[in-house]
Structure 1
Amino acid sequence: MSATYDVVLYGATGFTGKLVAQYLATHPQQPKIAFAGRSTSKVQTVIESLTDVSAERVKSIGVLEASANNYSSLQRLAASARVIINTVGPYAHLGGYDVIRAAIEAGIGYVDLTGETGFYGRVAQELHEQAQATKAVIVPSSGFDSLPFDLTTYLAAQEIRNAYPDATVSQAICAYKMKGGISGGTIASAVSMRTDPDQMLVVKPYWFSPVTGSAPNQNSIIKMPQVGKYGISSPFTPHNTRIVYRTWGLLESGDPKRAYGPSFVYNEGLITRSAVGARIMAFIFALVNWLIINVALFGQFLKSATPQGTGPSVEKQINGSVYLRTLAESRNSNVRAIAEFKAKGDPGYLNTSRLIAETALAIAFDKERLSSLAQAGGVLTPSALGGEIVASRLGTYAGITIKSAIVPNNVDLTTPL
């Protein structure tokens, strides 16, 4: 039975869900969409609040009732869709696993924006083979956690592989800076991980990977030659690192033409102004992490200060930005490549809504052009899904500038692409 909708957005009434709803409703490809939630009246209110949308388009948007507490409602949701976007977090506590199970049973696509390592790890370990059995394409962490980091690493590595097919990529370093706010949902997800502190620490880099390498855990402060500055591990680093290594592992075990190489190592750093500034910021991040893990009242304070359903103002979101510059090198640094990612708007909200929507639409509209891994189904990453297709969509529809190129050895690494 063919699906009624290209994309069903589950969680349309939440802070990020509303942004995704607006993006999908105004998308130039005019996908057939439906919004779903526990309360159809609240979902209808979201539809009525859409801006720059014609009356005909508004009328075409479906309204579905679905709840993680009612598995049959999730099955009905999955039966109506080619792809589900799930923005209901924290995923480990609000039924994310069951939404994925319903998508797998229906053999459809699924994307979310989780940064919860324990949740992702469980899904990858328990549901990958089930998804392959039905050819369901499951792509968690398709928002700012962790698409830009994974994608720029992939694109830089592919520049090397395409130019020199016999070369292997020995390392990638992602340097990034960002300007944005934080929502109650993000804080709730972070606090929810305190019961398993390893989720928030730069340990277990291969947690998600189907194969294990020999990369050391990342240093908290690293030198980043592509920007000529120092960078530090941030709260994003543990999850990003595991996503990048899942891409590496999936390619190593299932797509040798795109594989980076068996000795690949990934590092990333939030750009700081100086070595001294790096040490200060590293200490602050470590302290906040320690407080969340060890002081329950601190987490409760953070959640009460920014409740779920709230987030940065529209003005702050518009004034936000994100920039990544990822360097990949072959063994002995004989070949170097850089990938850049630039976007206006808050990275965690405005840009996340674009990232997750375009990943979903890649599954809905470009399925035949996606990777061999995507054709086989499974729990994938945005890059393993088909990094070139995702990057192209982001440039065409989301206004995100993505470039990658080989950098000759006689050219300074800080030179813009």
Structure 2
Amino acid sequence: MSSSTYDLVLYGATGFTGSIAAQYLATHPQQPKIAFAGRNEAKIRSVIDKLTNVSFERAQSIGVILATSEDHESLKRMAISTKMIINMVGPYAKYGGYELAKVAAEAGIGYVDLTGESSLYQRIAQDLHSLAKSTKAIIVPSSGFDSMPFDLTTYLAVQALRQVTNGQADVDYALCGYHIHGTASGGTIASAVNEAKVAEIGFTDAYQLGPKRGTQQAQVVRSRFLPQFRRYGAYTLFTPHNTGIVNRSWGLLEEATDEHRYGNEFKYLEGYVTSSYVGAFIVSTIMTLIAYLLSHFAWFGEWISKKVPQGTGPSMERQLKGFANVRTLAVARDGRTKALATFQVKGDPGYLKTAVFISEMALTIALEKNRLPALAQQGGVLTPATAGGQVLAERLSQYGDVKIQAKDVSTSADISKECP
């Protein structure tokens, strides 16, 4: 990355989640050089004026950049001014996510976004990976709650397992369970509706986003036991995309014969924590029905979009009551060697904390370049795990108030009791 005016530019700072990221970045202890970008200068300056606990000098130092997906040259000017772009303007397929990722790849800078749109991610990965490697650009879509906690805990659990066996054990599977309290953002819903217009929403290919194929079959399991919670987990609309991201991490590491690779037979499984076997079955059935309705009936997407309009969100009081508890169990092929990674955070994971996740992913790339994993040094379309790895985990713990732990649980009689 060449010398730049800014460490990062936040594109879409005037949106609901974008304004949360703006506050986080403006008050970050490291005081990165930042700019806010968008199509409306007055709205951007209003975001700056509303920042709290920010000195006059700090507020004055925040740059204002006019850029829009409708003006390609404005995107290029934005890219050459910075080391990193955070794209908060979604739905990404609709509002130029591919075009901005391409501009970043051409400029050799970093790029992160919050997309959960698998068809867009697939296009970015297929079209831009080689380009990004040639310029050493680090492109990391899906750096929010979709799908950072799932990808990162899988990576950390696998590394803890490999450490126990001195790197000798291949992983059979990683089983992720997650318990959350929060609200699906208007942007997430808009992205799901937009995705349904161009692709079937469902679990049809476990390797849709990856560079290579493995042995895992795409399968909707309506009730799955999660020993780390001693509860049953359900299939959700997150499952296909999360699986694709984790399997991209697997594929990238396998192709590079990286020392952190997961093994040829690796499979990723997940479940949303429910109260019982029947509860998980019911939730899974509802989720598959929603996916079917979104994919086959346009009126349903329009109706659900009106229920949670894009650009809106819950009060801060309500956001502070949210939480996410993600636990991923990695099991070696011998069936006995096991490791558990946990990721716990207070605050709504869909709004308040997703802004933290994407901000720390961006700052990891912009400020910690020399400490990044080998794949990140090479550039490409990467994942939170392959771009940030342990460095990202450390930053989330230090700055993002995320409690992260990974440990050997091979001898544990009750894995749920091993969780903090």
Distance 1:79 1:356 in 2: 21
* Counterpart code for 2:215: S
SS of structure 2 residue aligned to 1:42? helix
* Counterpart code for 2:285: F
Identity %: 51
Report if aligned partners of 1:9, 1:86 keep a CA contact under 8 Å in 2. yes
Q: Does 1:335 align with 2:334?
A: no
CA shift at 1:410, angstroms? 4.4
2:352 to 347, 350, 353: 350
* Counterpart code for 1:264: F
* Counterpart code for 1:222: R
Report if aligned partners of 1:230, 1:271 keep a CA contact under 8 Å in 2. yes
* Counterpart code for 1:144: F
User: Structure 1: which 5+ runs fail to align?
Assistant: none
Distance 2:106 2:273 in 1: 43
Report if aligned partners of 1:255, 1:372 keep a CA contact under 8 Å in 2. no
Distance 1:37 1:112 in 2: 15
Distance 1:237 1:23 in 2: 28
Q: What per-residue deviation string (whole Å, max 9, x for no partner) do you get for residues 245-276 of structure 1?
A: 00000000014310000000110000011111
SS of structure 2 residue aligned to 1:29? coil
CA shift at 1:289, angstroms? 1.6
Q: Does 1:257 align with 2:263?
A: no
Counterpart of 1:120 in structure 2 is: 121
Alignment of 1:306-345 (within 5 A): 306-345=308-347
Counterpart of 2:208 in structure 1 is: 207
How many residues get paired? Answer: 416
Counterpart of 2:293 in structure 1 is: 291
Alignment of 1:2-401 (within 5 A): 2-164=3-165, 165-198=167-200, 200-218=201-219, 219-401=221-403
Q: What per-residue deviation string (whole Å, max 9, x for no partner) do you get for residues 342-365 of structure 1?
A: 000000111100100000000111
* Counterpart code for 2:132: A
* Counterpart code for 1:202: F
Structure 1 outlier segments of 4+, above 4 Å: none
Q: What per-residue deviation string (whole Å, max 9, x for no partner) do you get for residues 187-216 of structure 1?
A: 110100112443x21121101111100112
Q: Does 1:406 align with 2:408?
A: yes
Distance 1:23 1:145 in 2: 19
122-131 vs 407-416, which moves further = 407-416
Pairwise CA RMSD of aligned residues?
Answer: 1.1
Q: State the TM-score, normalizing by the size of structure 2.
A: 0.97
* Counterpart code for 1:414: S
143-152 vs 156-165, which moves further = 156-165
Distance 2:344 2:309 in 1: 30
SS of structure 2 residue aligned to 1:247? helix
User: Structure 2: which 5+ runs fail to align?
Assistant: none
SS of structure 1 residue aligned to 2:236? coil
Distance 1:30 1:386 in 2: 20
